[in-house]
Amino acid sequence: MNLKELGFDAFFREDLASSGAGGLEPGRVVFESRNRYTVETEGGPREAAVSGRFEYTAAARSEYPAVGDWVALRPVEEKETIRVIERVLRRRTCLSRRSPGRGADEQVIAANIDILCVVCGLDGGRNFNPRGIERYLVMAAASGARPVLALNKADLCENPEDALLTARSVAGDAPVYLLSAKTRRGIGELSGILLPGVTAAFTGPSGVGKSALINALLGAEAVRTGATRADDMRGRHTTTHRELFPLPGGGLVIDTPGLRELQAWGDGNTADDAFADIAAAAVSCRFRDCTHRDEPGCAVLALLREGRLEQERYQNYITVRKELEYLSSLQDERGRRERKASEKELSRLIKRYNRDRE
């Protein structure tokens, strides 16, 4: 594929050039499985792995290539289809979540996406839930990608217009699409925003029809889909890998596995970006560092009292903010530990140096 069609532009070109990476060729990661990557290049797809130097110098898992990343590739002698990944080019956007389990590790879901398509299922199960949508909008805010909401399975819903209103009430500026992968309702509209060179990642719980929507956009059954459980409409985690597909219309879409849990990732402002109404009110709080929990003169609590802010939405905002605060305290603590360790290492080296001189 030609690089421009894959989304390559001046941003990545300059980063490749600035690294002085002479002789390296750019490519985009379209598939990853167990540290093996498929990278699309000007000359076609290549199989790749990171270099020994990359492994040695990487400080965190999140620095490894993810689907959507642009990477600098070195050829391998006499192996036409194999490449070594020397470097991950600077990410324009980065979709992450907190790694499942304890700790403060970042798990990169996809890189360099322009649009995050948050998919819900209107099949009467638990796959349509405003609080869940709010969490996905927080994830979008942290990524730098523009969110859109996709309400799929409209064919299974008696009052899709009600769902549309509910979704709009939490969507902020994000557009909401009423869709059906089955009847193709809304598919033309959605493909209208997936312009040439634009990358969109699809996320949401298992079984909502992320892969089915991608098939509908591709106009082919390229991706495997799986039945939902009859009792609660939950999916069976059919998609197990992230993968990037070029659309006939020139856009690029990334399918991702359904998420079981979504712990917030981001910094202090991320929650405010996703809850714009609360952030706008907070400007009028008496204290600049108001936490909107019990302070006098809190404009957010005033909204709540006046019934202009839904209790559940407010509660979700507070919960997400607490999660983000906890995350940043874990990160601070880790930073302190790492600094201490490197100071220790340094004093060991100085001691040894002095000893050697004696």
Point out which residues bind Zn ion (CB under 5 A): 285, 290, 292, 298, 300
> Contacts with Mg ion in 158-217 (CB under 5 A)?
210-211
CB of 315 to Mg ion, least distance (A): 31
Are the CB atoms for 142 and 266 separated by under 8 Å? Answer: yes
Q: Quick one: 220 or 280, whose CB is closer to Zn ion? A: 280
Among Zn ion, Mg ion, ligand GTP, none, what does residue 285 contact (CB within 5–8 Å per kind)? Answer: Zn ion
Per-residue DSSP letter, 292: S
* Rama region for 51: left / alpha / beta (φ>0; ψ in -120 to 50; rest): beta
* 281 phi/psi in degrees, rounded to 5: -65, -35
CB of 313 to Zn ion, least distance (A): 15
Q: Quick one: 127 or 238, whose CB is closer to Mg ion? A: 238
Are the CB atoms for 112 and 64 separated by under 8 Å? Answer: no
Which pair of tokens denotes residue 244? 């990037």
Q: Quick one: 31 or 314, whose CB is closer to Zn ion? A: 314
CB of 290 to Zn ion, least distance (A): 3
Give yes or no for residue 41 binding Mg ion (CB under 5 A): no
Cα 109 from chain centre: 5
Q: Quick one: 127 or 239, whose CB is closer to Mg ion? A: 239
From CA 328, how far away is CA 322, in angstroms rounded? 10
Q: Quick one: 184 or 334, whose CB is closer to ligand GTP? A: 184
CB of 257 to ligand GTP, least distance (A): 5
Q: Is the dihedral of CA 160, 164, 170, 175 positive or negative?
A: positive
CB of 252 to ligand GTP, least distance (A): 17
> Interface residues with ligand GTP (CB under 6 A)?
152-153, 155-156, 180-182, 206-212, 225-228, 235, 237-239, 257-258
HSE value, Cβ hemisphere, 13 Å, CA-based, for 126: 10
Which pair of tokens denotes residue 263? 């712990």
Which pair of tokens denotes residue 69? 């990343």
In the stretch 229-268, what mask flags binding to Mg ion with x, by CB under 5 A? ---------xx-----------------------------
Which pair of tokens denotes residue 97? 């979540």
CB of 255 to Mg ion, least distance (A): 6
Can you tell me whether residue 305 is helix, strand or coil?
helix
Among Mg ion, ligand GTP, Zn ion, none, what does residue 322 contact (CB within 5–8 Å per kind)? Answer: none
Amino acid residing at 62: S
